[in-house]
Amino acid sequence: MDLNKKILAIYGSPRQNGNTSTLMDKFLEGIENSSFNNYTVNKVFASKVNVSPCRECRVCSKTGECVVKDEMQDIFKLFIEADFIAIASPIFFTTVSGYLKAIIDRCQRFWSLKYEHRKNIFTKEKNGIFISCAGSGAKDIFECSKKVIRSLFDVVYANYYLDFLYNNIDFKGDILKNKNAMNEIYNFGKSKKFENLLKGVSMNKKLSFIFFVALIIISIIFIGCSNAKAENPDNDLTYKNNFTLENIDDEEISLSDFKGKLIVLNFWATWCPPCKAEIPDFVETYNEYKEKGVEFVGVSMDSKSDLRQFIQAYDINYTLLIDGGQVSKQWGIRAVPATFILGRNGEVLFKNIGLMEKSKLVSEIEKRL
Ligand SMILES: Cc1cc2nc3c(=O)[nH]c(=O)nc-3n(C[C@H](O)[C@H](O)[C@H](O)COP(=O)(O)O)c2cc1C
């Protein structure tokens, strides 16, 4: 196993020592000043590399390779080898810079491998962060670029772990005046949490498989030896469709924690307008039915920082969990919102794709009380 962790840092701004590059440097400085030193940083300055935009020749659909022989060939390798990806970009016309977009579009080769060839050439699963600054103060100014970065992370098998987004930052050096921003990103780089992220998710598939098999064997031995009923709800094998995810406070919560209750399970995202539209109805319905043994659990595709603001703005009063993609994949979620009603033992009783009208939700709950 390669113990030297590789961090891929992509600077998307053409402005030297601009706001987003300053943030990226601060993040790397945090790592440098941490106790962890077994890592290499590969920096890519998008405006300085020779990468032409995608020509849409579609050869990658057939071969999985990109025919354009420029510096992107080296960047492909960096994506494949990376244990962590940090991408910084200013907002240009509501999205990422053109230089960065050229790199992203060339990752069509990875899209093709994943979705057309169904082939995974990435031996490492990894986490990624997105760093951005925008001149405007508009609340939704980062939404478009977040989607762009999310779809890039998807094809390079990276989990969109966190973002650092700052608006009202326009002129060169503006970000230096925002001490909170500088401290926040520095502290993240220096943190044990980041070190663990870097170390923890880079097991290659073979090793993960060995761990998985070992876990199964240990579980079988444990179940075989024990007559006692498991106390931990995760071990409750009678509960169907169970999963465990973290909430914004890093607490792990399992569906089976609500065993015995009817669960309204909603897959959603803050960037999805119909998902947002149904939240006030969920808040109301939860208030009306929580005393009657009904629990609401939202599974969000967002980062913790996005969610924190959203929970306050919408006064969300029920459990919200964050999914890096694994759980929604297991549940076959291709579009959000998707809402399920689960019985008292986790069994699926009802499914609705798309916006859920309050009257429909209430009548489906009533039928099952
Ligand atoms: C070509 C261009 C387009 C821009 N478009 C937007 C925009 O759509 N929305 C916005 O809020 N800021 C916009 N800005 C402002 C930048 O996002 C802002 O100045 C940012 O801090 C630059 O970061 P940097 O120093 O890392 O390049 C634009 C700036 C330029 C040069």
Judging by beta carbons within 10 Å of its beta carbon (0-12, 13-18, 19+), is residue 135 exposed, middle or buried?
A: middle
**Residue range 74-122, pLDDT digits in tens:** 999 999 999 999 999 999 999 999 999 999 999 999 999 998 998 999 9
Model-level pTM? 0.62
Residue 138 neighbours by CB distance under 10 Å: 13
Residue 90 and residue 132 in contact, taking contact as beta carbons nearer than 8 Å: yes
Q: How remote is the CA of residue 172 from the centroid of ligand 1, in Å? A: 10
Average pLDDT over residues 343-367: 93
**Residue range 298-334, pLDDT digits in tens:** 999 988 887 887 888 888 999 999 998 889 988 999 8
Domains and CATH numbers, the chain: 5-200 (3.40.50.360), 236-368 (3.40.30.10)
Percent of the chain with pLDDT over 90: 73
pLDDT recorded at residue 2: 59
**pLDDT over 50 (residue 224):** no
* Atom number in ligand 1 closest to CA 18: 25
pLDDT recorded at residue 212: 60
Ligand 1 near 170 CB (within 6 A): yes
Peptide bond preceding 337 in cis form (omega within 30 of 0): yes
**pLDDT over 80 (residue 231):** no
| Pocket mutation for ligand 1, best pick of 91, 94, 97 (most atoms within 8 Å of C-beta) | 91
Q: How remote is the CA of residue 70 from the centroid of ligand 1, in Å? A: 28
Full strand arrangement of the beta sheet holding 158-166: 39-45, 5-11, 84-90, 126-133, 158-166
Q: How remote is the CA of residue 30 from the centroid of ligand 1, in Å? A: 25
Ligand 1 near 94 CB (within 6 A): yes
Which residues are catalytically annotated? 275
